[in-house]
């Protein structure tokens, strides 16, 4: 990870830097009248890890599902652009998108117990993308599935291949889920709250495992998290989302050390630190999707809000190497 | 594993014992005295007592039940007063295969029509396809089978002349002729099941398709048809088998109607004729056989669960 952090500013400085692996531009997602994602801008370079941070309902998981193409028209209406390896994803035919899913883009679900089919063995589920995308023969699939299980730290993989999900512990199930997502060495790994359904004792192990595999495969990853501190710890960059918009995005260390957006500050001060008695909850709650404020969506809860905030939406400005959407960046 | 199976078998035997006791009591409670029937109108008290003793009817009722049960298990089910036929032969070798063939064919039709209908209704929920499928399903379920049978006979048998109106040809003797004769009865009996299967398939599939593992299968790049028919339907099988097993009673009830309407020599026809002739001993055989069938199917369904749902398998 250190290596990737060091690379990021360098890549930004050099004009001949490689194009981003993933580029999200002015991306909006509407479900009927409700604007679930509003003008999202992001770039992810090869080998980079990005954390999407925010409260539940901020649109983090929606963005992840939209990236892997599981939320598309006619179910929802998309605007703007999602470019992956130079391909415009929003225009992609379903059959072509399917070739990316589980192959070039992998997705780890929050709750492995629910995301593994109870009627199929874990070996079958790991082998599925190997058959679909790589066309491996039955015995090659078994060998590769066992190797994948070994690589995600499942002991005695040969025996566990024929186990059903319910025969494994929650931690082991999540390891299987990771093996499924990584089966075809994806260039982009999406992880939707990969540890929040697990016991605290194994959360760190699983997080470490995912980072370890991402580095080993030299993939890029997007983590959906609700914990700002955890996000800053595991990701190179952080994008803080609020009510379907990105309010602040930049290198993790700087966002965490000196947050510029009032919401990021609020998130930071919500974290209980050992020995400190300072716990400042953000007042109020996220507005419902059908009653979003016209201006800044955070304005009704913002301690610094002025008249302009509730009238006009602040555009993201580049400030200190990050994009911040606020009228009053000091 | 062994313990669980033997516990289940003991339970099954108990149920069968209760069925047999009820069926024996039915014979005892039925009006009419078998001795006087056998002796005819003119007999002496001495010959009456002699025959009563010979038949063992002067013994305690528990002993009579025990003897009857032993005879039943041995396959000695008595002889019909009217046709003088061995009842075991009549019920098990002649009537049962007809009913089983009819039931199997009806179930096959119901599955072949009901499952795709339910899947279509689930996939195009709230569209006109769904409305049409649901209407047909409820209609098939609500329509009385004897009435449907008569309409089918009139339309396809009499008017169009495509299918034979009544009668039975054993498919194991002449397969195509047998099938030909069974088409209308099987459609009649199956129509009721189609609606049931379609509705269960629709609701179960809708529930399953909302599960995260379906989204996960899509996220692996699985094509839509595989997501529905493999990942989805594999999980729909359990509720489907449950309902099919539970509704076997309805199936047997429907079979009685269908057999009478189409004059098929099955169990339903046998029992109906026996009731009309007041041949209680044959009715009793019908009750026992139906009970056995019921228990056997339930046992089979239970065993199927373990096969279908890995979570229920014991290691």
Q: Are A43 and A321 in contact (CB under 8 A)?
A: no
| B219/A101 touch (CB, cutoff 8 Å), yes or no | yes
Model pLDDT for residues B243-282, shown as the tens digit of each residue: 888 887 778 888 888 888 888 898 989 988 888 887 788 8
Q: Is the Cα torsion angle A13, A15, A16, A17 positive or negative in sign?
A: positive
Report the distance separating Cα B164 and Cα B262, nearest Å: 10
Hey, how many other C-beta atoms are within 10 angstroms of the C-beta on A288? 10
pLDDT over 70 for what percent of chain A? 91
Tell me what pLDDT residue B5 has: 76
- Taking alpha carbons only, the member of A226, A242, A315 closest to residue A26 is A315
Give me the residue from B216, B218, B234 closest to A119, CB to CB. B234
> Rounded to an integer, what distance in angstroms lies between the CA atom of residue A140 and that of residue A128?
12
Q: Where are the alpha helices (DSSP H) in chain A?
A: 2-13, 60-67, 94-100, 112-115, 122-134, 138-151, 157-160, 170-182, 200-217, 228-234, 252-257, 262-270
Mean pLDDT rounded to a whole number for chain B: 85
CB atoms within 10 A of CB B184: 24
Q: Is B73 on the interface with A (CB under 8 A)?
A: no
Cβ-Cβ contacts under 8 Å, B222 against chain A: 98, 102, 128, 132
- Find residues 140-159 of chain B whose CB sits inside 8 Å of chain A: none
The CA–CA distances, whole Å, from A189 to A28, A182, A245 equal: 21, 8, 22
- Asked if B215 lies within 8 A of A70 by C-beta distance, the reply is yes
- Residues in A touching B310 (Cβ below 8 Å): 118-119, 121, 164, 166
CA pair distance B63, B56, nearest whole angstrom: 9
pLDDT at A274: 56
Which secondary-structure segment (H or E) carries B103?
helix B96-123
CA–CA separation, B202 and B224 (whole Å): 17
Residue reference for tokens 């697990």: A198
CA distance A317 to B268: 82
B60 touches chain A (CB under 8 A): no
The structure tokens 């890549």 sit at: A11
H runs (alpha helix) in A14-161: 60-67, 94-100, 112-115, 122-134, 138-151, 157-160
Give the nearest chain A residue to B213 (CA atoms).
Answer: A115
Q: Which residues of B touch A67 (CB under 8 A)?
A: none
What strands lie across the sheet with A87-88, from one edge to the other? Answer: A34-44, A22-31, A77-84, A87-88
- Of B108, B6, B94, B21, the C-alpha closest to B291 is B21
Q: Which residues contact B110 (CB under 8 A, 6 or more apart)?
A: B190, B191, B193, B194, B196, B197
What is the 8-class DSSP label of residue A272?
P
Q: What is the pLDDT along chain A (330 residues), one digit of tens a residue?
A: 344 444 444 444 445 567 899 999 999 999 988 889 998 999 999 999 999 998 888 899 999 999 999 998 888 999 999 999 989 999 999 999 999 999 999 999 999 999 999 999 999 999 999 999 999 999 999 999 999 999 999 999 999 999 999 999 999 999 999 999 999 999 999 999 998 888 888 888 899 999 999 999 999 999 999 888 888 889 999 999 999 999 999 999 988 888 888 888 888 876 655 555 566 677 788 888 878 888 888 888 888 888 888 888 887 777 777 888 888 876
DSSP of B9-53, one letter per residue? HHHHHHHHHHHHHHHHHHHHHSSS-HHHHHH-S---HHHHHHHHH
């Amino acid at each position: 990870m250190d290596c990737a952090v060091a690379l990021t500013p360098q890549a930004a400085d050099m004009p001949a830097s490689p194009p981003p692996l993933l580029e999200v531009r002015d991306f909006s997602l509407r479900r009927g009248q409700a604007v679930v994602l509003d003008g999202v801008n992001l770039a992810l370079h090869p080998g980079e890890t990005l954390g999407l941070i925010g409260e539940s309902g901020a649109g983090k998981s929606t963005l992840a599902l939209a990236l892997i193409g599981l939320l598309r028209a006619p179910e929802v209406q998309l605007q703007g652009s999602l470019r992956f390896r130079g391909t415009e994803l929003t225009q992609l035919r379903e059959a072509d998108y399917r070739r990316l899913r589980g192959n070039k883009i992998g997705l780890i679900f929050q709750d492995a117990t629910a995301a593994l089919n109870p009627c199929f063995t874990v070996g079958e589920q790991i082998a599925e993308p190997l058959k679909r995308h790589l066309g491996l023969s039955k015995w090659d699939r078994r060998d590769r599935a066992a190797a994948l299980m070994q690589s995600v730290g499942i002991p005695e993989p040969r025996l566990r291949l024929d186990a059903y999900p319910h025969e494994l512990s929650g931690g082991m199930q999540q390891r299987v889920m990771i093996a499924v997502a990584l089966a075809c060495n994806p260039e982009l790994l999406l992880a939707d709250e990969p540890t929040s359904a697990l016991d605290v004792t194994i959360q760190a192990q699983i997080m470490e495992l995912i980072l370890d595999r991402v580095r080993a495969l030299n993939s890029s990853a997007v983590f959906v998290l609700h914990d700002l501190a955890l996000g800053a710890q595991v990701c190179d960059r952080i994008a803080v989302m609020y009510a379907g918009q990105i309010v602040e995005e930049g290198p993790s260390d700087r966002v965490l050390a000196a947050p510029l957006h009032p919401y990021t500050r609020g998130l930071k001060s919500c974290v209980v630190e050992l020995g400190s008695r300072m716990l400042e909850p953000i007042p109020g709650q996220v507005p419902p999707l059908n009653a979003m404020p016209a201006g800044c969506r955070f304005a009704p809860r913002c301690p610094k809000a002025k008249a302009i905030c509730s009238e006009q939406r602040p555009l993201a400005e580049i400030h200190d190497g990050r994009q911040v959407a606020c009228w009053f960046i000091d | 594993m062994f313990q669980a199976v033997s516990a289940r078998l003991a339970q099954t035997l108990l149920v069968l014992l209760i069925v047999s006791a009820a069926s024996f009591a039915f014979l005892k409670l039925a009006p009419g005295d078998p001795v006087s029937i056998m002796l005819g109108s003119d007999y002496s008290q001495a010959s009456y007592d002699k025959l009563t003793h010979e038949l063992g009817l002067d013994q305690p009722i528990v002993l009579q039940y025990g003897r009857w049960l032993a005879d039943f298990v041995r396959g000695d089910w008595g002889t019909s007063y009217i046709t003088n036929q061995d009842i075991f032969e009549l019920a098990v070798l002649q009537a049962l295969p007809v009913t089983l063939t009819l039931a199997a064919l009806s179930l096959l039709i119901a599955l072949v029509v009901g499952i795709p209908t339910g899947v279509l209704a689930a996939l195009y929920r709230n569209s006109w396809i769904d409305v049409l499928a649901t209407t047909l399903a409820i209609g098939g379920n609500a329509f009385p089978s004897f009435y449907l049978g008569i309409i089918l006979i009139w339309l396809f048998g009499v008017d169009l002349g495509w299918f034979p109106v009544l009668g039975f040809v054993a498919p194991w003797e002449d397969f195509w002729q047998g099938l030909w004769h069974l088409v209308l009865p099987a459609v009649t009996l199956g129509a009721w099941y189609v609606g049931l299967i379609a509705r269960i398939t629709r609701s179960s599939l809708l529930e399953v398709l909302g599960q995260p593992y379906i989204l996960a299968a899509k996220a692996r790049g699985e094509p839509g048809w595989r997501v529905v028919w493999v990942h989805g339907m594999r999980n729909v099988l359990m509720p489907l088998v449950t309902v099919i097993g539970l509704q076997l009673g309805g199936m047997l009830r429907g079979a009685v109607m269908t057999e009478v309407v189409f004059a098929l020599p099955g169990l339903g026809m046998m029992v109906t004729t026996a009731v009309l002739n007041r041949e209680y001993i044959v009715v009793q055989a019908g009750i026992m056989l139906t009970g056995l069938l019921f228990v056997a199917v339930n046992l089979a369904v239970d065993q199927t669960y373990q096969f279908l749902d890995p979570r229920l398998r014991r290691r």
